[in-house]
Amino acid sequence: MIFPPEVFEQILFELPLPDLMHAAQVSRLFNRITQWHLVNEQYIKRWMLSFQENFGETRYIPLDLEETRKQLSEGNGFYVFDAKIQPISWVNEILHIDVVHLNLRVLTFGLRFLDHGDVKEDELSGRITLCSDGS
């Protein structure tokens, strides 16, 4: 029994990125569908970056669809994530100088890529904090 390509499209759509990449190696059809999904807004809009400021709270940055669409249409193949963070001024930060050790405060950021398979369901149900609201 041979399924029409639309069925495979739907199946592959449900796969998180690592599995999708593996599926692309199965056949030429799967590879074509994969390439299509990688520029398909419905697929890539599930992607996020986790963003940790100074080893503190982890927040999640959604994909900037508008900017990504622009990058993809120009053939650059880039995905863009925008995050609003708390405004930072070094006049404020300098108050945190550790006088004893003379350690200047350094802001440390960590970024991780998350597909929908990487985010737990309970996090998706509302416990995550998106950065796009500027908070």
Partner 1 sequence: MFGWELMCLATSQQTTRSRGSSPDMFACDGRCGQMIGFKILPWTTTPAARWRMSPTHDGTLLWKIELLPNDNSEQLKKREGAWNRPRYFDTVRVTVSLEAIKNEYVLREAVRRAREKHPGSLCVCEYLVFPVEHQQEFWASESGYLTN
Residues that bind partner 1 (CB under 8 A): 17-18, 21, 38, 49, 51, 55, 61, 64, 67, 71, 77-94, 104-113, 134
Considering the complex, state which of residue 30 and residue 81 has its C-beta at the smaller distance from partner 1.
81
Beta strands 48-53 and 58-62 are antiparallel
Q: How far is the CB of 80 from partner 1 (least distance, A)?
A: 5
* 11-12-16 Cα angle (round to 5): 120
Minimum CB–partner distance for residue 51 and partner 1 (Å): 7
Q: Which positions ≥6 away from 68 have C-beta within 8 Å?
A: 44, 78, 79, 80
Cβ at position 4, least distance to partner 1 in Å: 27
